[in-house]
């Protein structure tokens, strides 16, 4: 299985990027980060750790109810040049040569240099630590680093990556008695091409790359599989307040060139590599990511947006279980995926994709039981009030609040249980159908017909319509971008990521990309003034993990750049 494979380690750029054109382009970039590292720290880096962003091709807002999704790694990535700090380092050496000390800098001047060090916990929490407990995450380990989750800074993601390495590989008993068990001081230089806040998982890429950097510099990479790195990165990202289900990390770690992942979450996290047909279709196709430039402040808007969707789906699962005669305990909080399995009488080990498809198709008519009566509510309103929702749950107000509202803040007049359920089950079905199209294409020989792209595009269009009207996780600007993409020739276009802004992903013929981007630029008002690099940051084509971009770690020969970028 892909998750059991070791983390790839390369010793030259042509191993990491088999396509010579890609290797030449990346060679210039790697050369820049290596040379700048030496200027800043006074010595050459030992390694470059790399983690790509990801685009979710289909399967939005269903991972937290434990249905599968279909992400792919993208060519945009985070690079970290890294190595042990040396006494001859330039300014900052005194700080970084403390036990496990870190000096982190970024090629982007927007991000200020940072110096910090972990501390061994030899006593209980200080008064200041207790006072900050509500907003600071502390490691449940021998080591301590502050991460203020109320004001996330770029170094917060570095610290999050460091925590997992400290906790797993530097236990307290050894650290207190054996200096060899201490983490080494580290110099890090970051550069990245994943747009932040765009829904392409720049934060997950930062945490994955940081985790890899600390593993490699401390010689702890042996025995670490792709699956264990996913688990570490998931746990690490929780330290910045992100309760991830593993979708982003799995895509960033496990994907391979020209493939996507069918990621499932029930009864446990699993990932299946699925070859994409796009390199063999006529015409060949790529995915184009377009940033709406609308940023949704997830902290501020969560009670109306993301957190509300989570609560609506969880309550919807209980209400539907009641209507189907499925008995639940008063403290249970099952998801739609769990209710489906209980209704089907499926074993806890779960169903394969074919069995799940049949099960969803059988179950879909039952979702209509969540549609409320029209009497007594505004025309067209399909939601229920809080009082109605509590009554439908079969719980007392006190128990309902304990199970569904005590841990999260939400705010709305009408809770859309029916719409959210309809989105979840139809989207889960589309993910399986997308997978089927890819597998049928992979089983066929020779060049693939354009109809393959048409079928994938239709599923993407249906997904966006559902996200916009049933999940209601889109926004006018994203809807406009999808319409523009279709009119500009895309086979399909949809929102990707958490939503309420962020990016769209469109399936486009490779030989039409330039024309496509120009048409979108002319039609989307926020793009009209963008030129050059600013436009390329906003809208760009990508091949999933093309040129081995799914490989996450590159061992750096000290003269690796001598033949590139000259």
Question: What residues are labeled active site?
Answer: 248
Exposed e or buried b per residue across 342-373, where buried means at least 16 C-beta atoms within 10 angstroms of its C-beta: ebbeeeeebbebeebbebbeebeebbeebebe
The full length of the chain comes to 566
Classify residue 372 by its DSSP letter: P
CB 500 within 8 A of CB 296: yes
3-state SS, one letter per residue, for 105-149:
EECCCCCCCEEECCEECCCCCCHHHHHCCCCEECCCCCEECCEEC
Among 58, 46, 116, 4, smallest CA distance to 495 is for: 58
Residue-by-residue DSSP string for 439-466? HHHHHS-SPBPHHHHHHHHHHHHHHHHH
- Assess contact for 310 and 408: CB atoms under 8 A: yes
Distances (CA, A) of 329 to 202, 310, 417, 559: 39, 20, 20, 63
Do 183 and 166 contact (CB within 8 A), yes or no? yes
Candidates 336, 332, 334; CA nearest to 369 is 336
**Rounded CA gap, 63 and 427, in Å?**
11
* Distances from the Cα of 233 to the Cα of 82, 147, 238, angstroms: 18, 16, 9
- Say how far apart CA 37 and CA 41 lie, in whole Å: 6
Instruction: For residues 423 and 430, give the distance between their C-alpha atoms in angstroms, rounded to a whole number.
Output: 10
List beta partners, residue 69: 263
Tell which residue, 371, 504, 489, 364, has the closest CA to residue 432.
364
Please, where are the H alpha helices in 295-385?
298-301, 306-323, 336-344, 353-363
Closest among 287, 278, 243, 269 to 53, alpha carbons compared:
287
Strand 102-106 relative to strand 186-192, pairing: parallel
Cα-to-chain-centroid distance, residue 526: 26
Residue 274 has φ and ψ, to the nearest 5°, of -120, 115
Distance between CA atoms of residues 395 and 318, nearest Å: 10
Tell me if residue 544 falls in helix, strand or coil. coil
């Amino acid at each position: 299985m892909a998750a059991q494979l070791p983390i790839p380690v390369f010793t030259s750029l042509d191993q990491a990027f088999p396509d010579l054109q890609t290797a030449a382009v990346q060679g210039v970039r790697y050369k820049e980060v290596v040379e700048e590292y030496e200027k800043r720290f006074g010595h050459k880096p030992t390694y470059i750790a790399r983690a790509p962003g990801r685009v979710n091709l289909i399967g939005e807002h269903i991972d937290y109810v434990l249905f599968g999704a279909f992400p792919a790694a993208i060519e945009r990535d985070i690079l970290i040049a890294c190595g042990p700090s040396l006494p001859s380092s330039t300014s900052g050496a005194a700080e970084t040569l403390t036990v496990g000390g870190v000096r982190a800098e970024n090629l982007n001047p927007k991000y200020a240099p940072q110096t910090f060090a972990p501390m061994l916990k030899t006593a209980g929490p200080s008064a200041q630590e207790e006072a900050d407990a509500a907003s600071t995450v502390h490691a449940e380990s021998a080591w301590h680093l502050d991460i203020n989750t109320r004001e996330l800074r770029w170094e917060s993601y570095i610290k999050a990556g460091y925590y997992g390495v400290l906790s797993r590989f530097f236990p307290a008993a050894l650290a207190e008695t054996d200096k060899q068990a201490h983490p080494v001081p580290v110099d890090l230089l970051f550069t990245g091409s994943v747009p932040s806040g765009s829904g392409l998982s720049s934060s997950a890429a930062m945490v994955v790359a940081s985790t890899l950097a600390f593993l490699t510099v401390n010689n702890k990479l042996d025995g670490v599989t792709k699956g264990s790195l996913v688990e570490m990165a998931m746990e690490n990202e929780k330290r910045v307040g992100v309760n991830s289900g593993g979708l982003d990390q799995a895509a960033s770690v496990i994907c391979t060139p020209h493939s996507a992942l069918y990621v499932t979450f029930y009864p446990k996290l699993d990932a299946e590599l699925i070859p994409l047909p796009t390199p063999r279709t006529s015409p060949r196709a790529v995915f184009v990511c377009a940033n709406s430039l609308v940023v949704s402040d997830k902290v501020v808007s969560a009670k109306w947006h993301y957190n509300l969707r989570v609560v609506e789906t969880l309550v919807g699962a209980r209400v539907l279980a009641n209507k189907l005669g499925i008995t639940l305990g008063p403290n249970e909080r099952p998801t739609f995926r769990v209710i489906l399995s209980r209704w089907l009488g499926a074993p806890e080990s779960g169903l394969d994709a074919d069995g799940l498809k049949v099960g969803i198709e059988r179950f879909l008519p039952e979702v209509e039981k969540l549609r409320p009566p029209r009497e007594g509510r505004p025309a067209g309103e399909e939601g229920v009030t809080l009082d109605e929702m509590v009554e439908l749950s079969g719980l007392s107000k006190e128990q309902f609040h304990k199970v569904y509202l005590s841990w999260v803040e939400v705010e709305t007049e009408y809770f859309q249980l029916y719409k959210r359920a309809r989105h979840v089950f139809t989207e889960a079905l589309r993910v399986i159908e997308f997978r089927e199209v890819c597998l049928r294409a992979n089983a066929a020989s020779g060049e693939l017909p354009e109809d393959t792209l048409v079928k994938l595009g239709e599923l993407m269009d249906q997904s966006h319509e559902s996200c916009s009207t049933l999940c209601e996780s889109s926004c006018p600007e994203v809807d406009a971008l999808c319409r523009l993409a279709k009119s500009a020739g895309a086979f399909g276009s949809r929102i990707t990521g958490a939503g309420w802004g962020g990016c769209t992903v469109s399936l486009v013929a490779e030989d039409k990309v330039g024309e496509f981007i120009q048409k979108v630029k002319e039609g989307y008002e926020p793009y009209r003034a963008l030129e050059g690099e600013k436009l390329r940051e906003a809208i760009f084509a990508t091949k999933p993990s093309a040129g081995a971009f799914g490989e996450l770690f590159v061992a750096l020969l000290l003269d690796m750049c001598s033949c590139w970028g000259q």
